[in-house]
Amino acid sequence: MINLNHISKSFHLGRPNEVIALQDINLHIMQSEFVILLGSNGSGKSTLLNLIAGNIFPTNGEVSIAGINVSKLPEYRRSKWIARVFQNPLQGTAPDLSIIENFRLAALRTSQKKLKIGLNADFIKEVGERIETLGLGLENKLNQAMGSLSGGQRQALSLLMAVMADIKVLLLDEPAAALDPRSAEIVLNTADKLIKDYKITAVMVTHNLKDAHLFGSRIVQLHNGKILRDINKEDKQILTHADMYEWFI
């Protein structure tokens, strides 16, 4: 599904302040895999996620999604395959629009845009049923402004919005880092369920060893812009939290 072939990324190339963020990364992520990107600050996690998303382009190498070379395609051109949930709950939603209007925009993200938002009874019913699964009591508040909700509520809704369109890849950029423990639990459990239910290929950046241990089918640890460890599903199942802690000592 996602192939990174000999990917390198440098910033300020050829200047005295040049920074090599990624070095000859080769990574194949299969359909429906949920990969956890783990590493210390400056290891290259966010750079790798941004390369997949199309926010930045590789200095060398090729990024392909579903067999298509997207190395030079900007983010908006990749949107028919990729959805992204950011660390900041305020990103990814329109605060002045209602919950249902936000969901309608999300549903139209990968299709040709219309002049009308097109809210009908069937769509409202579908959104209400999806939101009800969160257990947050928001299914009867669809006309409430998105900006009036808590960060945890907005982040949970952002996840549901991400799968309203027929996307293939979900990128999660520390989606629970800015949330309280209860909200973080809801968001991560929601993400895990959606990834499994919709058979989405997902990549999540996290600093949290507990979350990396509990979620995902594979762990890729980066260090100084290189892949230090690549733990497959079978090895991850026998991995302990103490094992992971040792990686950073």
What is the per-residue pLDDT for 79? 86
60 assigned to some structural domain: no
Q: What is d(CA 112, CA 213) in angstroms, rounded to the nearest whole number? A: 40
12 assigned to some structural domain: no
Question: In this structure, what token pair is assigned to residue 182?
Answer: 């209860």
67 assigned to some structural domain: no
23 assigned to some structural domain: no
Please give the single-letter amino acid code of residue 165: A
- Residues 131-137: contacts with CB under 8 Å, at least 24 apart: 131/99, 131/157, 131/160, 134/160, 134/186, 134/190, 135/186, 136/186
110 assigned to some structural domain: yes
- Reply yes or no on whether the pLDDT at 233 is more than 80: yes
Q: Which of 52, 71, 134 is nearest to 44 (CA)?
A: 52
Give the model's confidence band at 115: pLDDT under 50 very low, under 70 low, under 90 confident, else very high.
very low
Q: Structural domain of residue 117, as residue ranges? A: 32-54+74-247
99 assigned to some structural domain: yes
What is the per-residue pLDDT for 110? 67
Q: Tens of pLDDT along 7-46?
A: 999 999 888 889 999 999 999 999 999 999 999 988 999 9
Model-level pTM greater than 0.85? yes
Please give the single-letter amino acid code of residue 132: E
Give the model's confidence band at 67: pLDDT under 50 very low, under 70 low, under 90 confident, else very high.
very high
Q: Tens of pLDDT along 191-201?
A: 999 999 999 99
146 assigned to some structural domain: yes
**Domain CATH for 207:** 3.40.50.300
- Reply yes or no on whether the pLDDT at 173 is more than 70: yes
22 assigned to some structural domain: no
Q: Which residue has the tokens 């949920």?
A: 34
**Average pLDDT in the 119-134 region?**
91
The count of domains in the chain is 1
